[in-house]
């Protein structure tokens, strides 16, 4: 996986609120190219594996329940400096701390239901993309 790619999920709250199109529009307007995308629903096992790094955290059960309660949109995005620029675009994990104009400021309700995921490193972007997509689904 090239280092100019990142992985994102539009989380269940975004789809429930009908924000899929508006969020994708902001992502594209910020210069990201969608090189893979699908709407899917995580199983409990999928969510436990995807968020395994958080399994000792007190919010782990709540996180798994939230992420499996409805469909998500998973995507691989390409842009120069993708990981860092995408994290800037989505804003802080807690929407109350997110900068004006960021996706979480505009579309998220709380730290637990924060609208979107963005990989935190090139290494995790590659791992997370491979979790959701086979090689022939990424263009
Ligand atoms: P994200 O950073 O994409 O991945 C981990 C997720 O855990 C995070 O988004 C939130 O959805 C959730 N999360 C992080 N911190 C908390 C918290 N303090 N309480 C509840 N959920 C959290």
Over residues 84-135, the pLDDT tens digits come to 999 999 999 999 999 999 999 999 999 999 999 999 999 999 999 999 999 9
**Which residue's alpha carbon is at the smallest distance from atom 20 of ligand 1?**
112
What average pLDDT is seen over the chain?
97
Of the candidates 53, 8, 57, the residue with the CA atom closest to the CA atom of residue 28: 8
Task: Give me the DSSP letters along 49-101.
Answer: HHTGGGTTSTTHHHHHHHHHSS-EEEEEEE-TTHHHHHHHHH--SSGGGSPTT
Looking at the whole model, is its pTM more than 0.85? yes
Note whether 78 and 84 are within 8 A (CB): no
Task: Give me the DSSP letters along 60-71.
Answer: HHHHHHHHHSS-
> Is 117 known to be catalytic?
yes
Interval between CA 3 and ligand 1 midpoint (Å): 24
Residue ranges covered by each domain of the chain: 5-137
The hierarchical CATH code for the domain 5-137 is 3.30.70.141
Interval between CA 63 and ligand 1 midpoint (Å): 7
For residue 75, how many other CB atoms are within 10 A of its CB? 22
Distance CA(139)–CA(129), nearest Å, equals 12
Catalytic residue among 104, 117, 118, 132: 117
Question: Please, which pLDDT band fits residue 3 given cuts at 50, 70 and 90?
Answer: low
**Which residue's alpha carbon is at the smallest distance from atom 12 of ligand 1?**
112
């Amino acid at each position: 996986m090239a280092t100019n790619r990142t992985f994102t999920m539009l989380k269940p709250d975004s789809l429930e609120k009908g924000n899929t199109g508006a969020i994708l529009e902001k992502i594209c307007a910020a210069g990201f190219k969608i090189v893979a995308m699908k709407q899917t629903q995580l199983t409990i096992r999928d969510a436990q594996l995807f968020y395994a790094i958080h399994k000792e955290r007190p919010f782990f059960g709540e996180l798994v329940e939230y992420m499996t309660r409805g469909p998500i949109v998973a995507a691989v995005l390409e842009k120069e400096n993708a990981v860092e620029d995408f994290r800037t675009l989505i804003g802080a994990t807690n929407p109350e701390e997110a900068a004006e104009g960021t996706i979480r400021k505009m579309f998220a309700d709380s730290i637990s239901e924060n609208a979107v995921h963005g990989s935190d490193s090139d290494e995790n972007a590659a791992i997370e993309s491979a979790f959701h997509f086979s090689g022939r689904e990424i263009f």
